[in-house]
Structure 1
Amino acid sequence: MGNGDYDLTYSDFNPTVFFASKMRVTKRTAYHAHQDFTELTYILSGTSKYRIDDIYYDVKAGDMIVCNPGVFHQNMLLDGEEPLVEFCTGFTDFQFKNMPENTIQLSNQGHIVHLSSEAKRETSRLCYDMLAENEAGQVGKYFMLKAQLIQMLMLLMREVIEAPKVTQKGCNFETYSKSYAVKRIINYLMENYEHKISLDQIAHNMYLSPVYISKIFKEETGESPINYLIKIRLEKAKEILSEREGGSIKNIANEIGYDDVYHFSKLFKKYFGISPQNYRKSLIAQRTTESQ
């Protein structure tokens, strides 16, 4: 078969996104249906039982639940059971090849997709990207959400549509996923170094656990996120000292996120082998010599 046999969408594939949200479910939900949009629910953590059109399904982290318009569904989590964390997104105005409009048809006529390991990792990343985009509220937010949703739908279709497997060499998905997360952490540190930052805060903003962040960050960079932050701050302090002859050392310390000027000076000397005061003096002396 040629590639056209696996073309999943029409040329005008352009879904309308209604929402993207994360929920912590602690008890049984109402039995309900959505008449005007399709809903995808991705289980981020936990296990539960779902009732969908009066059929009961066991679900766990990494499962995708597909509820087309008019499909009744209900989380059957009982009081006292471990909470379930879900990502949900609702959308309409789409059509896949050989499927009814605004409908995702699974081959077994069911509603649950047990994603592969690679698809789980990528889908989880997209979920958190959509949540972060929603929260940031930057220009073009809607179009970013649409683009991320389209990626999620394509991943889902690749899981449910059988196609020839193509072996690709030199592609390590896990490494890519880690690199992507670490790159986002570094960007966050670069943009917020002047504020108070803790590992827990980084984890909260990344929707990842502090332990996991520390692990992958050290694997990718060779050091902890906090040590990396210290280096960013100290390099910035050195830059300020180089550009600005006036101003107190305390003000510079405050400018890069340190309230304690003694602690800042100690870190600076440990990193550069010279105190900030003496570094400034050496720069002034060097400039005086050069001007003579």
Structure 2
Amino acid sequence: MGYYDITVPRRLELSHPNVHHKGLVHPRRIMQVHDFLYITEGEWEIFLGEKPYLLEKDDMIILHAGVEHYGNKPCLPETKVYFLHVFPEERDSFREISETPPHGCVKIANVVHCRGNLEIKKLFKEIISTFWNGTPQSVSKNSVLLHMLLLRASEAENAGSGSETDITERCINIINSHPERFVSPEEMARALFVSERTLRNAFKRSHNTTPYNYQRDLKLKRAIALMREYPEMTMREIALNLGFADDSHFSKVFKSVYGVSPANYKNSLAEKDEVPGISFMPISENDIVRQC
């Protein structure tokens, strides 16, 4: 169990993607930096201390600075990994027993299963890209990204209770991570290691709706925000940004919920008329991806 300080700037020694074409036995070593490994393809068994961890696709392991780690057998051929060598900070620590983290530190499991949290993989990719950009802002930007990575990994560690509240919160995180498409209940259940029935029942009891309807309503509120804040966007742009098949599909769903077409609603905005029952959700430029 690792404890990592998020109150101080974080620095990288090195970062890179690797492909082990013929398989590789992880070397036995004690490093002076934390070695963050993310498996993007393949399988690799690594010992941390005396405990073995079998890493599969979308697993992350933190090989803590000052702690011996090694492998006894090679990873599968063509195993692909991202690695980050992160300088340790004074309050970082490695403990055998899980305890409440000190103030300003986060607690992270040695292995984090990221199938339901693809943001962690995206952060690895962005950190590696930023590191090699070599701009004057790269160090500061990567410090922020590393803090975000530590926070997301800690959230994943604390999201393993299996309670209905936990399941629905993680489900919503998946939905919010993919605003550009609809995520099927089957995909969410698979990512959360639960059955579709368990997922639906948990969502029904906590939100009195289904995962699909929650996504639909969230996307329609975002569509309303886009129409208000970016009136120059076409219905096709809005539809494709939010995962609808086309503007016709978007219009049909919008009208079935609000009783008015999105085009008519947009016209009412231009005329300063409010449509009853339609609320506004603030949205930022980062939520928009042009797809025309």
**TM-score of the superposed pair, with normalisation by structure 1:** 0.46
Question: Which has more helix, going by share of residues?
Answer: 1
**TM-score of the superposed pair, with normalisation by structure 2:** 0.46
Greater Rg, structure 1 or structure 2?
A: 1
